[in-house]
Protein backbone atom coordinates (compact mmCIF):
# COMPACT_ATOMS: atom_id res chain seq x y z
CA UNK A 1 0.00 0.00 0.00
CA UNK A 2 0.89 3.67 0.11
CA UNK A 3 2.52 3.57 3.53
CA UNK A 4 4.63 0.58 2.52
CA UNK A 5 5.58 2.22 -0.78
CA UNK A 6 6.96 5.25 1.05
CA UNK A 7 8.49 3.24 3.93
CA UNK A 8 6.08 4.74 6.48
CA UNK A 9 4.22 1.66 7.71
CA UNK A 10 5.35 2.20 11.31
CA UNK A 11 4.41 5.90 11.19
CA UNK A 12 0.68 5.66 10.35
CA UNK A 13 -2.23 5.20 12.74
CA UNK A 14 -4.45 3.06 10.51
CA UNK A 15 -3.69 0.52 7.81
CA UNK A 16 -6.66 -0.62 5.80
CA UNK A 17 -6.87 -3.07 2.93
CA UNK A 18 -9.08 -5.33 0.92
CA UNK A 19 -8.94 -9.10 0.60
CA UNK A 20 -11.01 -9.14 -2.59
CA UNK A 21 -8.57 -7.45 -4.95
CA UNK A 22 -5.26 -8.84 -3.78
CA UNK A 23 -5.78 -11.94 -1.68
CA UNK A 24 -8.40 -13.97 -3.59
CA UNK A 25 -11.07 -13.71 -0.91
CA UNK A 26 -13.81 -11.47 0.46
CA UNK A 27 -13.78 -8.67 2.98
CA UNK A 28 -10.99 -6.51 4.24
CA UNK A 29 -9.12 -5.37 7.31
CA UNK A 30 -8.15 -2.41 9.44
CA UNK A 31 -5.01 -2.57 11.59
CA UNK A 32 -4.52 -0.09 14.43
CA UNK A 33 -3.92 0.06 18.16
CA UNK A 34 -6.46 -1.75 20.36
CA UNK A 35 -8.22 1.46 21.45
CA UNK A 36 -8.85 2.58 17.88
CA UNK A 37 -10.04 -0.89 16.87
CA UNK A 38 -12.38 -1.00 19.87
CA UNK A 39 -13.81 2.40 18.89
CA UNK A 40 -14.35 1.26 15.29
CA UNK A 41 -15.98 -2.01 16.43
CA UNK A 42 -18.56 -0.15 18.49
CA UNK A 43 -19.17 2.92 16.35
CA UNK A 44 -18.83 1.90 12.70
CA UNK A 45 -22.27 1.38 11.19
CA UNK A 46 -20.98 -0.88 8.42
CA UNK A 47 -19.11 -3.09 10.91
CA UNK A 48 -22.01 -3.28 13.36
CA UNK A 49 -24.31 -4.64 10.63
CA UNK A 50 -21.82 -6.97 8.96
CA UNK A 51 -21.27 -10.68 9.49
CA UNK A 52 -18.05 -12.45 10.33
CA UNK A 53 -15.84 -13.82 7.57
CA UNK A 54 -16.47 -17.43 6.65
CA UNK A 55 -13.76 -19.90 7.66
CA UNK A 56 -13.07 -20.59 3.96
CA UNK A 57 -12.52 -16.89 3.24
CA UNK A 58 -10.21 -16.51 6.23
CA UNK A 59 -8.27 -19.63 5.21
CA UNK A 60 -7.78 -18.34 1.66
CA UNK A 61 -6.43 -15.02 3.00
CA UNK A 62 -4.00 -16.82 5.32
CA UNK A 63 -2.85 -19.13 2.49
CA UNK A 64 -2.30 -16.14 0.16
CA UNK A 65 -0.29 -14.29 2.83
CA UNK A 66 1.80 -17.42 3.47
CA UNK A 67 2.61 -17.62 -0.26
CA UNK A 68 3.49 -13.92 -0.42
CA UNK A 69 5.88 -14.29 2.52
CA UNK A 70 7.50 -17.53 1.35
CA UNK A 71 7.71 -16.58 -2.34
CA UNK A 72 8.58 -12.86 -2.54
CA UNK A 73 9.64 -13.28 -6.16
CA UNK A 74 5.93 -13.41 -7.03
CA UNK A 75 5.52 -9.82 -5.82
CA UNK A 76 8.55 -8.70 -7.84
CA UNK A 77 7.15 -10.40 -10.93
CA UNK A 78 3.73 -8.82 -10.36
CA UNK A 79 5.30 -5.34 -10.30
CA UNK A 80 7.29 -6.15 -13.43
CA UNK A 81 4.24 -7.24 -15.46
CA UNK A 82 2.14 -4.39 -13.99
CA UNK A 83 4.62 -1.75 -15.10
CA UNK A 84 4.88 -3.45 -18.49
CA UNK A 85 1.09 -3.51 -18.93
CA UNK A 86 0.79 0.13 -17.87
CA UNK A 87 3.39 1.11 -20.48
CA UNK A 88 1.60 -0.94 -23.17
CA UNK A 89 -1.79 0.62 -22.43
CA UNK A 90 -0.40 4.14 -22.44
CA UNK A 91 1.40 3.50 -25.72
CA UNK A 92 -1.88 2.20 -27.19
CA UNK A 93 -3.53 5.51 -26.27
CA UNK A 94 -5.49 4.59 -23.15
CA UNK A 95 -5.95 7.07 -20.32
CA UNK A 96 -4.77 5.21 -17.22
CA UNK A 97 -4.76 8.22 -14.94
CA UNK A 98 -1.99 8.25 -12.37
CA UNK A 99 -2.17 4.52 -11.76
CA UNK A 100 0.86 2.72 -10.38
CA UNK A 101 -0.80 -0.50 -9.23
CA UNK A 102 -1.53 -3.99 -10.61
CA UNK A 103 -5.18 -2.90 -10.90
CA UNK A 104 -5.00 -0.59 -13.90
CA UNK A 105 -7.90 1.77 -14.67
CA UNK A 106 -8.68 2.28 -18.33
CA UNK A 107 -10.88 5.37 -18.48
CA UNK A 108 -13.68 4.97 -21.02
CA UNK A 109 -15.79 7.98 -19.94
CA UNK A 110 -19.00 6.51 -21.41
CA UNK A 111 -21.12 4.06 -19.39
CA UNK A 112 -22.63 2.28 -22.39
CA UNK A 113 -19.29 1.87 -24.16
CA UNK A 114 -17.65 0.64 -20.94
CA UNK A 115 -20.32 -2.04 -20.54
CA UNK A 116 -20.21 -2.98 -24.24
CA UNK A 117 -16.41 -3.21 -24.09
CA UNK A 118 -16.61 -5.43 -21.00
CA UNK A 119 -19.05 -7.83 -22.69
CA UNK A 120 -17.11 -7.91 -25.97
CA UNK A 121 -13.88 -8.66 -24.12
CA UNK A 122 -15.50 -11.42 -22.08
CA UNK A 123 -16.64 -13.06 -25.32
CA UNK A 124 -13.03 -12.78 -26.52
CA UNK A 125 -11.62 -14.39 -23.37
CA UNK A 126 -10.51 -11.26 -21.48
CA UNK A 127 -12.08 -10.51 -18.09
CA UNK A 128 -12.21 -6.90 -16.90
CA UNK A 129 -14.45 -5.16 -14.37
CA UNK A 130 -16.58 -2.19 -15.43
CA UNK A 131 -16.92 0.73 -13.03
CA UNK A 132 -19.84 2.89 -14.15
CA UNK A 133 -22.25 5.46 -12.73
CA UNK A 134 -23.59 5.82 -10.14
CA UNK A 135 -20.50 4.20 -8.52
CA UNK A 136 -18.41 6.93 -10.19
CA UNK A 137 -19.40 10.11 -12.04
CA UNK A 138 -20.27 9.38 -15.69
CA UNK A 139 -17.17 11.22 -16.88
CA UNK A 140 -14.98 8.90 -14.77
CA UNK A 141 -16.36 5.52 -15.83
CA UNK A 142 -13.70 2.94 -16.60
CA UNK A 143 -12.80 -0.69 -16.84
CA UNK A 144 -10.40 -2.26 -14.35
CA UNK A 145 -7.66 -4.44 -15.77
CA UNK A 146 -6.36 -6.60 -12.92
CA UNK A 147 -3.11 -8.50 -12.96
CA UNK A 148 -1.93 -11.45 -10.89
CA UNK A 149 1.58 -12.67 -10.13
CA UNK A 150 0.94 -15.62 -12.44
CA UNK A 151 0.37 -13.47 -15.54
CA UNK A 152 3.13 -13.38 -18.14
CA UNK A 153 4.23 -10.59 -20.47
CA UNK A 154 2.93 -12.71 -23.35
CA UNK A 155 -0.52 -12.80 -21.75
CA UNK A 156 -0.36 -9.04 -21.22
CA UNK A 157 0.53 -8.56 -24.91
CA UNK A 158 -2.42 -10.70 -26.01
CA UNK A 159 -4.91 -8.97 -23.71
CA UNK A 160 -3.68 -5.45 -24.53
CA UNK A 161 -4.02 -6.27 -28.23
CA UNK A 162 -7.58 -7.58 -27.74
CA UNK A 163 -8.60 -4.63 -25.55
CA UNK A 164 -7.12 -2.11 -27.99
CA UNK A 165 -8.87 -3.76 -30.96
CA UNK A 166 -12.23 -3.83 -29.14
CA UNK A 167 -11.83 -0.22 -27.96
CA UNK A 168 -11.13 0.92 -31.53
CA UNK A 169 -14.18 -0.97 -32.81
CA UNK A 170 -16.36 0.92 -30.29
CA UNK A 171 -14.79 4.29 -31.10
CA UNK A 172 -13.13 4.57 -27.68
CA UNK A 173 -9.69 4.80 -29.30
CA UNK A 174 -8.99 6.14 -32.76
Indicate the fold that domain 73-169 takes in CATH: 3.90.1150
Q: Could you read off the pLDDT of 36-59 as tens digits, one per residue? A: 999 988 888 777 777 788 999 999
The pLDDT value recorded for residue 52 is: 84
Distance (Å, rounded) from C-alpha 133 to C-alpha 2?
27
Partnered with residue 107 across adjacent β-strands are: 142
The pLDDT value recorded for residue 157 is: 99
The pLDDT value recorded for residue 158 is: 98
The pLDDT value recorded for residue 17 is: 87
Q: Could you tell me which residues come within 8 angstroms of residue 164 by beta carbon, excluding any fewer than 6 positions away?
A: 92, 93, 94, 173
The pLDDT value recorded for residue 51 is: 79
This prediction has a pTM of: 0.82
The pLDDT value recorded for residue 21 is: 76
Partnered with residue 129 across adjacent β-strands are: 144
The pLDDT value recorded for residue 162 is: 99
Every domain of the chain and the residues it spans: 2-70, 73-169
In order along its 174 residues, the chain shows pLDDT tens digits of 788 878 898 899 999 888 887 788 888 888 999 999 999 888 887 777 777 889 999 999 999 999 999 999 999 999 999 999 999 999 999 999 998 889 999 999 999 999 999 999 999 999 999 999 999 999 999 999 999 999 999 999 999 999 999 999 999 999
Amino acid sequence: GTSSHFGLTDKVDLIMGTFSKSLASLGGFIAADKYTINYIKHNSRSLIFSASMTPASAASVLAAVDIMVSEPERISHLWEVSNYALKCFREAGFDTGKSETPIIPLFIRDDVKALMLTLNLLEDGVFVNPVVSPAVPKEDCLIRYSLMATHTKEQVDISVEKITKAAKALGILS
